Every structure is written in C-alpha cells, then in structure tokens.
Amino acid sequence: MAQIEYEDFEKAEIRVGKVIKVEEFPKVRKPTYKLWIDFDDFGIKKSSAQITKLYNTEDLLNRLILALTNFPPRQIADFVSEVLVLDVVLGDGEVVLIQPDRDVLLGKRVL
C-alpha cells in the first residue's frame, strides 16, 4: 500500500451531511439512489449511491453520512453527482454507509 503525507490527507474535505431527499435512479445500469444531502453552510449537494441492497428510501431519510465534498462533479445519466458518499464495500458487493456514531453539526469536517 502506498503511503501519503499528512498534507495529502488534508486536501480531502470529508464532511458530515444529512440526507434530506432520496429518489430511485432507474436510468442507470446498477440499482442506485439519487441523494440530496444537507451540509448546512456548505449547502445542499447531490450524490448517486449504489446502496440499494441494504437501504431503502425510508432508511436513508434524515440519516447522517460522511462525504468527500471537494470531489469533482460527475455526470451520471441525466444527474450530476457533486459529492462522493463514503462507504465500505463488503465481499458480496453490499455497500455499508459510513456515518458518525452520534449527532454532530452538519458540515463539520472530518480530520
């Protein structure tokens, strides 16, 4: 595994957000949701996430998540994903979200 310097890690802006809207995304090949995430002072950002195996839309609403907020936007079908939601991919392809273990202020940065 390649090592990085702390200065490299500091470039990644990982922030706490809250999912405020979820829609199914049928225009893509793999089952995916469209997410709208509130980062408070940093605004509401959109993301697409292939997390349909373990989460339904009701599970995701108001859930705190962690996302890389300075990731370049990506066009996915007719949707622009502005942030990268952080998760763990299990051996069977299931995706588990990474989230704070208690309530924290939205937009706070992970260090």
Residue in this structure with the two tokens 């990474």, named with its chain if needed = 98
28-41 per-position pLDDT tens digit: 999 999 999 999 99
Share of the chain above pLDDT 90, in %: 95
Mean pLDDT along residues 88-111: 94
64-73 per-position pLDDT tens digit: 999 999 999 9
Contact 79, 70 (CB under 8 A): no
Contact 29, 38 (CB under 8 A): no
74-90 per-position pLDDT tens digit: 999 999 999 999 999 99
9 DSSP 8-state letter = H
Mean pLDDT along residues 8-26: 96
Task: Tell me the two tokens of residue 102.
Answer: 């208690």
Residue 69 burial class via C-beta count within 10 angstroms: exposed 0-12, middle 13-18, buried 19 and up = buried
pLDDT exceeds cutoff 90 at 48: yes
What average pLDDT is seen over the chain?
96
Residue 16 burial class via C-beta count within 10 angstroms: exposed 0-12, middle 13-18, buried 19 and up = buried
Confidence of residue 92 (pLDDT cuts 50, 70, 90): confident
Write down all domains in the chain, each with its CATH number in brackets.
13-97 (2.40.50.140)
